[in-house]
């Protein structure tokens, strides 16, 4: 896989060495078990896969290269480069300005953007409408396009399905940048609809069996389907694609629910005429991170820490998985940790909360740890070192890592 030029501040001394050891021992990625790092009074179970993925590294390389090569130009990002506050803050500090927020609300009016400016398309991609707007302004939308190739793979799969007259069912969060972009692209060629979860997919299937009316259906999915969407006609042939950062298992569950609905309605012998197999749109990094988290859950730990941006979809799904097994603290960086308390994000109330005395009073504390695909390894290093600082007799990282080699 391609090696990217990542700024030094995002690299690490601990995690990078650990990942290199795991790659050398398991180049085909068959072993998803965590790495056990025992520092004496505290032990970490470090997930097998986490941190920057291909798409994120590609986006960061392009963004920083653009900054270095164009010191005299105004440089804009359509929205956040990736969902990580440290990375986005650094880009802003270096002079990049965001045109919109994550939901498409405008910070800077399009009238202020000229053909002499550089506009970077983030890793999530963007809509056909914005691509056309950039073209009309004379702005090169290809040179500074950091759209993840695995997102583009979803778009290409949706386009291929549309040529066979399939309606596109997108598993995603309808306000998320990536889902908005995927919806815009699929809507060019085919009726499209967004389902957030298995409950919404079940509601969709109920229409197929006349359990709800067309009016109820359209009201339930308001603003989540293409103009002129007719469920009577447009749900006869469907294929499921996904926002690449969703739970892979949930996408598969949604696909299977809809597949079974088509079998019940049209018969298994006619299935290929009504349902397209689209399992190949699942992102490898999302799959690997979630599989490694599933393996992490099989071990014993006192609690888990997940590090990443609070608006990161892929990170939030790792939290959901770990919460089924451990008390889990979702933090953005090491500054959230103190010896007697931790500030962490509660996804239920969408806000940070404080938990005191989170460290168990015992001879050996075991902590499971992972991060989202947009979290720099350097931040994981900082979290590990902050936690180690609370234990006077802890071994050094060098001592522990040397034992693993």
Kindly list the distances between the CA atom of residue 122 and the CA atoms of 27, 99, 293, in Å, as whole numbers in the listed order: 30, 11, 27
| Distant-in-sequence, close-in-space partners of 388: CB < 8 Å, separation ≥ 6 | 39, 42, 394, 397
Residue 148 has which token pair?
A: 């993840």
- Cα dihedral sign, 129-131-134-136: negative
- What is the rounded distance in angstroms from the CA atom of residue 142 to the CA atom of residue 1? 22
| Distant-in-sequence, close-in-space partners of 397: CB < 8 Å, separation ≥ 6 | 13, 14, 384, 385, 388
Residue 218 has which token pair?
A: 């359209």
Residue of 43, 57, 131, 178 marked active site: 178
Q: Are 286 and 244 in contact (CB under 8 A)?
A: yes
What dihedral angle (degrees, nearest 10) is formed by the CA atoms of 371, 154, 29, 404?
Answer: -20
Look up residue 100 and give its DSSP letter: B
What angle separates helix 198-208 from helix 248-266, to the nearest 10 degrees? Answer: 10
Kindly list the distances between the CA atom of residue 278 and the CA atoms of 155, 156, 255, 281, in Å, as whole numbers in the listed order: 12, 11, 8, 6
**Nearest Cα to 278, choosing from 245, 254, 260, 294?**
254
Asked if 178 is an active-site residue, the reply is yes
- What is the rounded distance in angstroms from the CA atom of residue 236 to the CA atom of residue 94? 51
Q: Are 13 and 396 in contact (CB under 8 A)?
A: no
Residues acting as catalytic residues: 178
């Amino acid at each position: 896989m391609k090696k990217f030029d990542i700024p030094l501040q995002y690299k690490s001394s601990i995690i990078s060495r650990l990942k290199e050891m795991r790659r050398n021992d398991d180049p085909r990625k068959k072993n998803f078990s965590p790495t056990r790092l025992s520092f004496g009074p505290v032990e970490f179970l470090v997930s097998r896969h986490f941190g920057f993925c291909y798409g994120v590294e590609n986006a960061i390389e392009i963004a920083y290269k653009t900054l270095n090569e164009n010191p005299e130009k105004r440089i804009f990002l359509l929205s956040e480069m990736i969902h990580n506050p440290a990375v986005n803050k650094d880009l802003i500090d270096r002079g990049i300005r965001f045109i919109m927020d994550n939901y498409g609300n405008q910070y800077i009016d399009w009238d202020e953007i000229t053909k002499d400016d550089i506009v970077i398309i983030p890793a999530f991609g963007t809509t056909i409408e914005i691509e056309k707007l950039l073209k009309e302004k004379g702005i090169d939308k290809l040179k500074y396009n950091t759209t993840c190739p695995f997102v583009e793979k979803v778009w290409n799969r949706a386009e291929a399905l549309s040529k066979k007259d399939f309606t596109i069912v997108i598993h995603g969060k309808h306000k998320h940048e990536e889902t908005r972009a995927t919806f815009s692209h699929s809507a060019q060629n085919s009726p499209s609809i967004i389902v957030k979860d298995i409950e919404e997919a079940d509601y969709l299937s109920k229409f197929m069996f006349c359990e709800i009316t067309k009016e109820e259906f359209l009201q339930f999915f308001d603003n989540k389907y293409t103009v002129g969407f007719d469920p009577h006609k447009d749900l006869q042939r469907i294929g499921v694609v996904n926002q690449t950062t969703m739970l892979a298992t949930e996408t598969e569950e949604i696909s299977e629910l809809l597949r079974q609905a088509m079998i019940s309605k049209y018969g298994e012998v006619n299935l290929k005429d009504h349902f397209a197999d689209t399992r190949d749109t699942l992102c490898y990094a999302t799959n690997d991170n979630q599989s490694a988290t599933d393996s992490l859950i099989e071990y014993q730990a006192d609690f888990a820490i997940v590090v990443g941006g609070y608006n990161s979809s892929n990170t939030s799904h790792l939290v959901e998985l770990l919460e089924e097994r451990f008390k889990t603290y979702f933090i953005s960086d090491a500054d959230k940790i103190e010896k007697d308390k931790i500030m962490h994000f509660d996804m239920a109330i969408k806000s940070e909360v404080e938990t005191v005395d989170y460290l168990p009073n015992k001879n050996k504390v075991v902590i499971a740890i992972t991060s989202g695909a947009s979290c720099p390894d350097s931040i994981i290093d900082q979290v590990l070192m902050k936690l180690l600082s609370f234990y006077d007799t802890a071994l050094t990282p060098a001592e522990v890592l040397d034992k693993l080699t």
